[in-house]
Structure 1
Amino acid sequence: MGGGSENAAVRSVARVRRPNDVVQLLTAAAGLGLIVLLTLTTPDAVDTVDRTVPTVVRDPLLTLFSLASVVASLAMLGVLGTVAVDAARHRRAALLQALAAGLLGLLLGAIGERVGDGAGGVVADVLTGPRDDAALVPVVATIAFLVGADLQRRRRWRAPSRWVVLAALVCGVALGNLTLQGTVAAVLLGAVAGLAVRLAAGVTPARPVDDVLRAELARAGVVVGDLEVVDQHAGLVRLTGTDACGPVGVTVVDPDGRGLPLVRRAGRMLRFRAAVVGRPSLSQRGDLEREASSAALAGAAGVPVPAVLALLAVGPALVLVERPLPGTPLTEAGDAAEAGLAAAFTALRRLHAVGLAHGALTPDSVLLGPDGAAGFRDLRAAQPAAGELQRDLDTVALLVGGATVVGSEAAVAALRAARAPGPMPPRVPALLQPVALPASVRRAVRGTELLAELRRALAGPDGTVAAAPRLERFSLRVIVTVGASTVAAFLLASQLSQVSIVDELGRAHAPWLLVALGGSALTYLGAALALIPFVPVALSLARTTLVQVSSAWLTLVTPPTVGHVGLNIRFLQRAGLTVSAAAASVAVSQVATVASTVLLLLVVGWASGVSTSRLSLVPSGDVLLVLLAAVAVVGLLAAIAPVRRLLHSRLEPLLRQSLPQLLAVATEPRRLATALGGILLQNAGYVLALDASLRAFDVSLALPTVIGVYLVSSAVGSVAPTPGGLGAVEAALIGGLTATGVPVAGALAAVLAFRAVTFWLPAPVGWVAFVQLQRRRYI
């Protein structure tokens, strides 16, 4: 078919809105809002950044950049004219769209200039530039015109326009006609204008219409009748038809639908380790190409999969044509399901033998042929050259999915039968965790004991399971903590920018800093006293204290409590305990410390509201409201079944393991007093260090307030993923102190001093202690 008839067919289709344009518009608007917000809230910092970008004021560079600016301006006019002529010849709707976007850009640029002039100060100087020769409005209008012209499918003009715009912007910044922040803001504002018009008007779809698609298929030797859409989502359309040989599946990658899949896949790559996701393509076009090559690999391995008939480029779209695999899904196999699952494991082994991982195995994706052979419905998520972990994840997905159909015992038997010639992968039992499963399988086993049953059936003779490999890069806790820390840092940025840290630290009272250092030293003695009563063997107090000091070195490289717990377990092993006994002793000590700290926080919160003038032990209404709200939150969480099950699964083993030792300690007053004394001494040392750090800068707070601020910040730091709670503790302390009325300058200086004596200064001492303990084989 000729190009003219194809263009006519495309022009007859209604205009569409690209999901990718929505993503870009939201991103540009968010970036523009962030720049404006930073300029309004931290004007001094923004002005400082602006002054770091030099401008050209002397010859010969001034003359050189002036000539370059003239050339870039002329080139810009040439590009705009060329784009307009090209659009008028081939895409008249795009020309009207570009003109509308340019006019909107002019309007928004002019409004931005007027708003900046009205705001004055740094906003006018940094964002809108100098009034005598400002270039904000032309930049916004130019960017809006080019974005509105939709150069996405006009590659010959897209690259030149970008280089010309970049050259013009560099010359504008160098000559002082634009600031760096103003340039970014102008580009984002122009993009917002162009994308808004593009979304409002729509664009000509890139996906070929059915007539064009059938003609291209006929040229490839596949003559089909009517095509019916069976699945359609962002960037991908799946159709079915029939030729002389039977059903035909057609998959079309639509360039207009890009954006959302890229975001999802990029998020998956960030969340999971590379060994889990492999090397996924970030485009659906790459996915389709990989699916075709994976089908060829599977065919070479003798595994039944859909046969690829053609892979065609139809304009900017990519089309995959395949013959669907006939067969009965495993979920509908009835009495033949057990034998079919064993055949599926055998087929999976053949896939793995040629280095191919399926990537999305569910019971519905397994098809059983009349001869009992098993194949796979599709290879959309297949990964060639897959690693060992990806292949093990395939095995786990098929095992769990098959168990939902035939039961756990039959699924394990099918796996063992297929693995008879080779050993069972040792990591399979450890990988039986929800995060390792496809979404549909994960939903099917939610709230059941199936994973636990499979794990027990696959465990070794002694009931042990290999250590589970880490699948995720970042857990939900890490994401929440980083987000909260970022928000806290942003809220404090405007205030901290007004503080001279050097001046504040220079006026510190050295005696109080020495007291703070002494309080820090007490914490290690308290930690040793909190551990010794829970250990069934005699420990030296000095040596145990030295172990706690050495943990200060590990906090520089491990999250809080992780290095501390691991070091104590190693120390108790060297003292003669088994691994399980050492872990149990440390766990009991940690449970007692957490319980005592929570109780202390409640007591302090109650005491902080007691009115001494009324000679009453009844706290204020505010404290009662806080306690009531806390009880209500806990009650609501406990009322949610999934949360209740999660808490039960996490806390029940720990309590079952630690409760006998806690009761044993409670029956011996001496050990109980030692443990409580150690916990109180540890907290008292930190509180003393914080109070002395405040007094070193002439700040004084009531003792219950200091204790409350420390305990809250300690809780924040204990869940932060950073070494020693770095960043999270500082933000929580500064936020808590400023909330109690402490000036920002004093709070910042006191927190820096507190963290220096409790986190940074003990680290080198801890390293020396760590080395000595290792040499003497105590750890």
Structure 2
Amino acid sequence: MTEAGEDAPRPVVPRIRRPTDVVQLLAAGAGLTLVVLATGTAPDVVDALDGAVPTLGRGLPRTLASVASVAASLTILGVLVTVAVDAARHRRAALVQGLAAGLLGLLLGAVGERVGDAAGGVVADVLTGPRDDAALVPVVASVAFLVGADLQRRRRWRQPSRWSVLAALILGVALGSLTVLGAVAAVLLGAVAGLAVRLAAGVAPARPRDEVIRAELARAGVVVGELHTTEQAAGFLRLTGEDASGPVCITVVDPDGRGLPLVRRAGRMLRFRAAVVGRPAISQRSDLERQASSAALAGAAGVPVPAVLALLAVGPALVLAERPTDGTPLPDAGDGAVAGLAAAFAALRRLHRVGLAHGALTPDSVVLGPGGAAGFRDLRAAQPAAGELQRDLDTVALLVGGATVVGPAAAAAALQADRAPAPTPPRVAALLQPVALPAAVRRSVRGTEVLDELRRALAAPDGTVAAAPRLERFSLRAVLTVVATTVAAFLLASQLSQVSIVDEIRRAEPLWLLVALGGSALTYLGAALALVAFVPTVLSLARTTLVQVATAWLTLVTPPTVGHVGLNIRYLQRSGLGLGAAAASVAVSQVATVAATVVLLLVVGWGSGVSTSRLSLVPSTDVLLVLLGAVAVVGVLLAIPPVRHLLYRRLEPLVRQSLPQLLAAATEPRRLATALGGIVLQNAGYALALDASLRAFGASLALPTVIGVYLVSSAVGSVAPTPGGLGAVEAALIGGLTATGVPVAAALAAVLAFRTVTFWLPAPVGWVAFVHLQRREHI
């Protein structure tokens, strides 16, 4: 009699993508690209390499090799049939994948042969061999089928398939139907086809079936009932069930996730110091073993954590069975949350005393049990033998997470409670920064004042805070800056190698350079007018202009707009405005400048289509190229959710703060005219400087085109993290000028002159103005 449920359909197991398949596909693609590039760029070297491996001539050796080649081909055919039959019996999805990969391999091999024939010469001879006896297509198709059929779990067929393919390749090279590079290209092309299909379709996870897991656990004394999947990823599975004593959490890791923790940890180690990340685990199996040992350490410290019931090897998989920690999560503790948080800090200190760092503390991971005891739910990120910095980061994560539940003041009090033997670590206040927090905690405090309030609560009586330890190796901004600067320097160097910049500078017309310098001077008067118009008090125009000149010195040593904004706020405070009013006035000036600049850019785009012979509403091609390029860059950036959210967080408070004052200024025609006049004068000065710099070297463009190129390059420089947009502005200007028809030599010389008169020469004058204003106590 059949048991109940025997005929029930087996649940569908979702297919996964292995991280190792992704790495192998990238490696095969990179190798194939190198072979193609080597054949196309260094055919003589490739031909010499091919000639170094002689083929067999006529005679007995060739006859024997031909017989062996036929045997190898029949062996490959037998292996292919055997793998297909085995897959049809046990893994039908793998058979479909193998056939799809084989067909794709046939297509790619045929295309490769046609490309080789079309290229001719060494490419055809080396990659495809003789056309009447070429072996590229069958090798590619065979390799693609075997890779697509996924023989990782059929070890009995994996070795025969490898040796038969290798024998066929060696004999093909010996008989001249393949070259050495042709054999390598065939294997790589087949691997690309097979791995692409395998990644597209996914593979069945290698984990054991639920009934096998239950049987192995029963042998270890853990008898669980029906299992339910709660979390699944490549090589990782989390199940829940129940035994006679209560719920059981089961974690299963298998070879499909091999190397994934190392890749993740290596990515973190590229950004953070080793003292923050800890020692990397090579595999998920190592992670699970470390989790079990961490639970044992926590138990020795008397801290409630999930109790390990069994750690078993089930086939190629590792299974960890745990008893979840009973209790109430901290966010659900209600009135007992403050006392519970203090108990959680005490439990965390006990973990730290035995050298264990939790590594991923969030409010939900804290569990409050009966009698006021506190424990932790999950030790997946735990680090035994943790360093002092890792332990401090634990404290900070629990402090900030607890502050989101009980408030900053109560969280600070809970941290300092019952710490008579050991005071609060002085670095905790310094570590209250987003980069030091787990991702979930960081998201929960984003846009709030929690971190600032905690810093004030933990500061010393004199208000001082310990210096923050260095956490990051490289910030994302620093990496992007280095990459962008390297690319720009490479492009600039390639252009400089083609022109003589010294000869161009010698031919410059001094009169036009003086005009460029005058245009640069006008920009400071325009900036002063744009600021004066939005200040609710009377300011000296001459003194305000001098302040704008002083910002030229700060721009040399600070990121774009930072020094400019800070100095203006300081100047307005010295002029009698409060900090809020001064910041609001500067913010309104910045918003108005950006808005007017955008409108000016659109007007310039339209004006470029106007000529004396015809009236057209379509911009000229030059300006249209510049505008479309700017729109494309902005569109790509806005299409990235993190960038879009970052811009919203940065701009929304600024607009909300400045909009009322901006509307008030719009109702006063005199102030509005002054502001618009200043903004236009500022942009006109820069456009005049750029146009004069071009004319100094015998080049010229239509005025709308000059203005458009300047405005776009200014926008690029304003978002660059370098002082004054250094590097970014030059690259944007050179690219915009050369794209609109200016010769490379003239564009390089003109940009050099433009940046000299607008960025470098004003800097020492700005330093003199800065010192003068300081002595007069105007800033």
| Both structures adopt the same fold (TM-score exceeding 0.5) | yes
Q: Size of the alignment, in residue pairs?
A: 712
The one-character-per-residue Cα deviations of 1:349-404 (angstroms, maximum 9, x if unpaired) are 22233333212212221122323221111211222344444333322322232233
Could you tell which deviates more after superposition, 760-769 or 389-398?
A: 760-769
- Deviation for aligned residue 1:252: 0.7
SS in 2 for 1:250: strand
For normalisation by structure 2, the TM-score amounts to 0.67
1:609/1:564 CA distance change after superposition, 3 Å: closer
Q: Cα distance, 1:233 vs. partner?
A: 1.3
Partner of 1:223: 222
Q: CA RMSD in A?
A: 6.8
Partners of 1:126 and 1:705 in 2: CA distance: 52
Match of 2:214 in 1: 214
Q: The residue matched to 1:309 in structure 2 has which SS?
A: strand
Over residues 473-529 of structure 1, what are the superposed CA-to-partner deviations in whole Å (9 max), with x where a residue is unaligned?
Answer: 77777899899999x99xx99xx99x9975555997444557698899889988999
Number of the residue aligned with 1:662: none
What is residue 707 of structure 2 aligned with on the other side?
707
One-letter code aligned to 1:647: L
Aligned to 2:250: 250
Matched residue SS, 2:367: strand
Kindly provide the amino acid, as one letter, of the partner of residue 372 in structure 2: G
Deviation at 1:292, TM superposition (A): 1.6
1:87-111: CA deviation from partner (whole Å, max 9, x where unpaired): 5898765795696367425522343
Report the Cα distance in structure 2 between the residues aligned to 1:678 and 1:261, rounded to whole angstroms.
54
Deviation at 1:305, TM superposition (A): 1.5
Q: What does residue 19 of structure 1 align with?
A: 16
Greater gyration radius = 2
* Equivalent residues in 2 for 1:313-332, closer than 5 Å: 313-332=313-332
- Residue 275 of structure 2 contacts residue 389 of structure 2 at CA under 8 Å; is this kept in 1? yes
Q: Distance in 1 between matches of 2:298 and 2:711?
A: 59
Distance 1:299 1:56, change over 3 A: same
The structure-2 alpha-carbon separation of the partners of 1:413 and 1:201, relative to structure 1 and needing over 3 Å to count, comes to closer
Using structure 1 for the length normalisation, give the TM-score: 0.67
Aligned equivalents of 2:423, 2:147: Cα separation in 1: 58
Distance (Å, rounded) in 1 between the aligned partners of 2:326 and 2:210: 25
Per-residue deviation, 1:194: 1.9
Cα separation, 2, equivalents of 1:110 and 1:322: 52
- Residue 340 of structure 1 and its aligned partner are, at CA, apart by 1.3
Cα gap change, 1:331/1:597 in structure 2, threshold over 3 Å: closer, same or farther?
Answer: closer
**TM-aligned CA distance change 1:178 to 1:567, over 3 Å:** farther
Q: What is the percent sequence identity of the aligned residues? A: 50
2:516/2:690 contact within 8 Å kept = yes
Structure 2 gap ranges (5+):
1-5, 532-538, 661-669, 766-774
Structure-2 change in CA distance of 1:352 and 1:602 (3 Å)? same
Q: After TM superposition, give the deviation of residue 299 of structure 1 in Å.
A: 2.7
Which residue, out of 49, 52, 55, partners 2:47? 55
Amino acid at match of 2:16: P
Q: CA deviation at 1:338?
A: 1.6
* CA-CA distance at 1:414 after TM superposition: 0.6
Aligned partners of 1:50 and 1:126 also within 8 Å: no
CA distance in 2, matches of 1:127, 1:651: 64
Residue 368 (structure 1) aligned with residue 368 (structure 2): yes
Alpha-carbon distance change, 15 to 339 in structure 1, aligned in 2, over 3 angstroms: closer
Structure 1 residues 600 and 719: CA distance shift in structure 2, 3 A: closer
- What residue in structure 1 maps to residue 603 of structure 2? 606
- Report SS of the residue matched to 1:428: helix
Is the CA contact 2:101–2:194 (under 8 Å) kept in the aligned structure 1?
yes
Q: What is the rounded CA distance, in whole Å, between the counterparts of 1:464 and 1:154 in structure 2?
A: 65
User: How far apart are 1:145 and its partner, in Å?
Assistant: 3.5
Amino acid at match of 1:55: D
Of stretches 353-362 and 261-270 in structure 1, the one that deviates more from structure 2 is 261-270
Give CA deviations for 1:577-615 in whole Å, capped at 9, x if unaligned. Answer: 9xxx99x99999999789658746644653563477679
1:433 equivalenced with 2:437 (yes/no): no
CA–CA distance in structure 2, aligned partners of residues 518 and 195 of structure 1: 64
> Structure 1, residues 602-632: CA drift from partner, whole Å, max 9, x if none?
446535634776799x9957699999x99x9
Is the Cα–Cα contact under 8 Å of residues 238 and 252 in structure 1 kept in the other structure?
Answer: yes
Q: Which amino acid aligns with 1:207?
A: R
Partner of 1:773: none
* 1:60-209 to 2 correspondences below 5 Å: 61-63=52-54, 93=90, 100=99, 103-113=102-112, 116=115, 132=131, 136-153=136-153, 161=162, 186=186, 189-195=189-195, 198=198, 205-209=205-209
Deviation at residue 438 of structure 1 after TM alignment: 3.6
3-state DSSP of counterpart to 1:207: coil
- Partner amino acid for 1:358? H
Q: CA deviation at 1:706?
A: 1.8
**3-state secondary structure, aligned to 1:609:** helix
Secondary structure at 1:361 match in 2: coil
Say whether the 8 Å CA contact 1:276–1:471 is kept in structure 2. yes
Q: Is contact 2:559-2:724 (8 Å) kept?
A: no
* 1:721-747 per-position Cα deviation (integer Å, ceiling 9, x unaligned): 47876775466345534654x2xxx55
Moved more, 458-467 or 157-166: 157-166
Match runs of 1:200-599 below 5 Å: 205-219=205-219, 221-234=220-233, 235-243=235-243, 246-256=246-256, 274-281=274-281, 283-420=283-420, 421-428=422-429, 431-433=432-434, 436-439=437-440, 441-445=441-445, 449-461=449-461, 502=497, 505=500, 509-512=504-507, 561-562=558-559, 599=596
d(CA) in 2 for partners of 1:566, 1:160: 67
Change in 2 beyond 3 A, CA 1:289/1:77:
farther
Q: Between 446-455 and 20-29, report the one with greater CA deviation.
A: 20-29
CA displacement at 1:749 relative to structure 2: 4.4
| Structure-2 residue corresponding to 1:647 | 651
The structure-2 alpha-carbon separation of the partners of 1:199 and 1:701, relative to structure 1 and needing over 3 Å to count, comes to closer
CA-to-partner distance for each residue in 1:126-184, whole Å, 9 max, x for gaps?
A: 99656647664245224314413424346795799499869969x979x996697x888
Structure 1: 5+ residue stretches without partners: 1-8, 555-560, 657-665, 770-777
